[in-house]
Structure 1
Amino acid sequence: MAQDARMVPTVAPAEPSAIRLDTGGVAGATAPEAWFRQYGVAMTRNVSTATLTPFLPDPAKATGAAVIVAPGGGFLMLSMENEGWRVARALADHGIAAFVLKYRLKPTPAAMPDFEQAVAAMFAGAGRPTSRLRPEDAAAGLAEPIADARAAFALIRAHAREWRVDPARIGMMGFSAGAMTTMATALTAPELHPAFLAPIYGSMEAVRVRPDAPPLFAVLAADDPLFARKGLGLIDSWQQAGRPVEFHLYGQGGHGFGLGKANTTSTEWFDAFVRWLDMNGLLTRLQDGGAAGASGTGATKP
Structure 2
Amino acid sequence: MYGSGFRKLLCSLAGLVLSLAVPAAAQDSKMIAIETPAIAGEIPLGTGGVDGSQAGESWYREPDGNRFARNVVSATLTPVLPDPAKANGTAVIVAPGGAFMLLSMDNEGFKVARALADRGIAAFVLKYRLKPTAPSLAQFEKDVAARMSDVGSADSRLSPDEAIAGLGDQIADAKAAYALVRSRAAEWHVDPSRVGMIGFSAGAMTTMVTTLAAPEVNPAFIGPIYGSMEAVSVPADAPPMFAVIASDDPLFGHKGFGLLDAWQAAGKPVEFHMYEHGGHGFGLGRQGTTSPGWFDAFMLWLEVRGFLEPSA
TM-score by length of 1: 0.91
Over 3 Å counting, the alpha-carbon distance change for 1:126 and 1:158 in structure 2 is: closer
CA distance in 1, matches of 2:145, 2:298: 32
Root mean square deviation, CA, Å: 1.6
**AA aligned opposite 1:129:** A
Return the alpha-carbon distance in structure 1 between the equivalents of residues 187 and 105 of structure 2: 25
- Classify the secondary structure of the residue corresponding to 1:157: helix
2:99 pairs, out of 67, 70, 74, with 74
Find 2:202's aligned residue among 167, 174, 177.
177
> Is it true that 1:38 corresponds to 2:62 in the alignment?
yes
Q: How does 1:261-276 map to 2 (within 5 A)?
A: 261-276=286-301
Residue in structure 2 matching 1:144, options 147, 158, 169: 169
Distance in structure 2 (CA, Å) of the matches to 1:173 and 1:55: 15
Q: Tell me how far apart the structure 2 counterparts of residues 75 and 130 of structure 1 sit (CA, whole Å).
A: 17
1:93 paired to 2:114:
no
Once residues 286 and 140 of structure 1 are traced to their aligned partners in structure 2, the CA distance between those partners, rounded to angstroms, is: 37
The structural deviation recorded for 1:126 is 5.2
**In the alignment, structure 1 residue 236 sits paired with structure 2 residue 267:** no
Contact 1:130 1:230 in 2 (8 A): no
SS at match of 1:163: coil
Cα gap change, 1:5 to 1:247, in 2 (>3 Å):
farther
Distance 1:5 1:181 in 2: 29
Superposition TM-score, scaled by structure 2 size: 0.89
1:1-302 → structure 2 map (5 Å cutoff): 1=24, 6-38=30-62, 40=64, 41-125=66-150, 128-287=153-312
Counterpart amino acid of residue 56 in structure 2: P
Whole-Å separation in 1 of the counterparts to 2:153 and 2:98: 17
Aligned partner letter, 2:248: D
Counting matched residue pairs gives: 287
Q: Which runs of 5+ in 1 are unaligned?
A: 288-302
Deviation string for 1:212-258 (max 9, x for gaps)? 21000000011111111111111111111111001110000011100
Identity among equivalent positions (%) equals 62
Which deviates more from structure 2 when the two are superposed, residues 9-18 or residues 119-128?
119-128
Provide the residue aligned with 2:17 in structure 1: none
Q: Aligned partners of 1:221 and 1:268: how far apart in 2? A: 12
- CA displacement, residues 93-128 of structure 1 (integer Å, 9 cap, x when unaligned): 000000000000011111112112323344543563
Query: 1:5/1:86 Cα in 2 relative to 1: closer, same or farther (>3 Å)?
Result: farther
- Does the 8 Å contact 1:5/1:39 carry over to 2? no
Change (3 A) 1:124 1:245: farther
Structure 2 unaligned segments of length 5 or more: list them. 1-23
Q: 1:169 to 1:99 in 2, by over 3 A?
A: same
- Which residue in the other structure is 1:299 paired with? none
- CA separation of 1:4/1:177 partners in 2, compared to 1, >3 Å: closer, same or farther? farther
How far residue 282 of structure 1 moved from its aligned partner, in angstroms, is 1.6
